[in-house]
Amino acid sequence: MNSVPNLRRITVLGATGSIGMNTLDVVARHRDRFEVYALSGHSQLGRLRDLCIQFAPRIVVTADEAGAGRLRADLQAAGCATEVSSGPQALVEIANHPDVDCVMAAIVGAAGLQPTLAAAAAGKQVLLANKEALVMAGGLFMAEVRRAKARLLPIDSEHNAVFQSLPYGYSGDAAAAGVRRIILTASGGPFRRMNAAALSRVTPEQACAHPNWVMGRKISVDSATMMNKGLEVIEAHWLFNVAPEQIEVVIHPQSVIHSLVDYVDGSVLAQLGNPDMRTPIAHALAWPDRLDAGVRSLDLFEVAQLSFERPDSQRFPCLDLAYRALRAGGTAPALLNAANEEAVSAFLDRRLGFTRIADVISATLDAIAGTPARTLDDVLGADGRARMFSRSLISRWREEVV
């Protein structure tokens, strides 16, 4: 790959997921500004092969050597010279490589924690779509960002909206900036109006059919349980240095207002746009500039009406569980995240009912005491303990049902 001077070189972690594909869509529109240095993907090897042929990255990383071998043969047959590697250490290497300027951190789940942390520690511009870096290890991650003087730009539509609504150069001092609170909007997911009895019978297909956004299966289920918003509350705490009491969630079914910032003078600033992830991605890629993302302009006459509701914590308890873990601090958010990942996986595999997801998380938080999260080993140890407990609980509950 022949680098062109002044191009920004990008690593896309999680290239075959929805965030990764949208990132590469924006990049493809601006080849004069961006160059793909490296890609990573998990199991969609055909899609990863096509992306390598299209963007000719220097390196591509797969989950394991078996997949790497198949991809290597396919790329050689296609005449593509991209180097193929595999495994967790290879992910770290493409995240902190000296030739990389910018890292899109879009690997879903705890697997994305270490490469994202490596990118921050190397002082990269980190486009953060991986929730787990902040949910599991927020204190450690933000300490590395500050130490290495990395630039952190949030990709979640909600946090990107808050970022755009805060004063330019916001340093994390909410009081000095006159910020009263942050208001995160939530669509309410596909079950916003469903009664509690019906929730226990919903299927993975129903949970993954989001009314406004096109997302992966895991994040779609998180949206349906409102755990996604709970995780975003934890992220907002670390990103913007505000207390849990200063973060409010509001249901906004139209998904046009992506989030708001409430100021002490009575002003409320918001970012609006069509529900398309290319908008926050393009904003972060070009920051502080703006570029065409291929997104249709918002037609206010077409929208016509904006509505808002309070979250129903009785039907969707996961949001309160996330606030509970955030207030507990230490490794409690890592316990919450691990239990949620295991429960969602079991639900998608039809081994657990939808409403049991919150039960697994609550039981895990009750059973395992949080500890200080001083090191990454502390965080990963808590993650492992929570997974072991929640898997055992899921298996026991399934046996009881059978």
| Per-residue confidence band for 209, with pLDDT thresholds at 50, 70 and 90 | confident
Distance of alpha carbon 258 from alpha carbon 275, whole angstroms: 8
The DSSP symbol for 297 reads: P
Residue range 179-203: mean pLDDT, rounded = 90
High-pLDDT (> 70) share of the chain, %:
96
Q: pLDDT at residue 360 above 90? A: yes
Task: For residue 52, give the H/E element and its range.
Answer: helix 45-55
**CATH entry 3.20.20.70 includes domain 329-397:** no
Strand order in the sheet with 179-186: 247-251, 179-186, 257-263, 268-272
By the 10 Å C-beta count (0-12 exposed, 13-18 middle, 19+ buried), 301 is classed as exposed
pLDDT in tens, 367-393: 999 999 999 999 999 999 999 999 999
* Size of the chain in residues: 402
* Of 186, 178, 325, 166, residue with least CA distance to 244: 325
- pLDDT at position 93 is 98
CA angle 234, 334, 20 (to 5 degrees): 70
Residue range 85-99: mean pLDDT, rounded = 97
By the 10 Å C-beta count (0-12 exposed, 13-18 middle, 19+ buried), 106 is classed as buried
Contacts of 242 (CB under 8 A, 6+ apart): 174, 179, 181, 182, 236
pLDDT in tens, 297-356: 999 999 999 999 999 988 899 999 999 999 999 999 999 999 999 999 999 999 999 999
| Block residue for tokens 């961006």 | 34
| Per-residue confidence band for 188, with pLDDT thresholds at 50, 70 and 90 | confident
* Of 214, 189, 233, residue with least CA distance to 354: 189
Angle formed by the axes of helices 376-401 and 332-348, nearest 10°: 40
Q: pLDDT at residue 73 above 60? A: yes
* Of 57, 53, 51, 8, residue with least CA distance to 32: 8
Distance of alpha carbon 170 from alpha carbon 182, whole angstroms: 14
CA angle 165, 170, 176 (to 5 degrees): 105
Q: pLDDT at residue 254 above 80? A: yes
Question: From its phi and psi, is residue 130 left (phi > 0), alpha (psi between -120 and 50) or beta?
Answer: beta
Q: pLDDT at residue 2 above 50? A: no
Distance of alpha carbon 111 from alpha carbon 129, whole angstroms: 13
The pair of structure tokens assigned to 401 is 């049902």
High-pLDDT (> 90) share of the chain, %:
85
Whether 350 and 204 have beta carbons less than 8 Å apart is answered as yes
| Average pLDDT of the chain to the nearest whole number | 94
Domain layout of the chain by residue ranges? 8-154, 169-275+299-321, 329-397
Pairing of strands 102-105, 83-86: unpaired
How far out from the chain centre does Cα 33 lie? 25
Q: Which CATH superfamily is domain 8-154 in?
A: NAD(P)-binding Rossmann-like Domain (3.40.50.720)
Largest CA distance in the chain: 63
Strands (E), 176-335: 179-186, 247-251, 257-263, 268-272
- pLDDT at position 216 is 76
Rounded to 10 degrees, the C-alpha dihedral 390/393/399/402 comes to -70
Residue range 357-364: mean pLDDT, rounded = 98
Q: pLDDT at residue 25 above 80? A: yes
Which residue type does 217 have?
R
Contacts of 138 (CB under 8 A, 6+ apart): 234, 235, 237, 238, 333
Q: Where are the alpha helices (DSSP H) in 122-256?
A: 132-148, 157-165, 196-199, 204-207, 217-225, 227-240
Contacts of 390 (CB under 8 A, 6+ apart): 338, 339, 342, 343, 360, 361, 363, 364
Residue 369: strand, helix, or coil? coil
pLDDT in tens, 103-147: 999 998 778 899 999 999 999 999 999 888 899 999 999 999 999
Distance of alpha carbon 232 from alpha carbon 234, whole angstroms: 5
Q: pLDDT at residue 96 above 90? A: yes
Ranking 94-98, 205-209, 353-357 by mean pLDDT, the lowest is 205-209
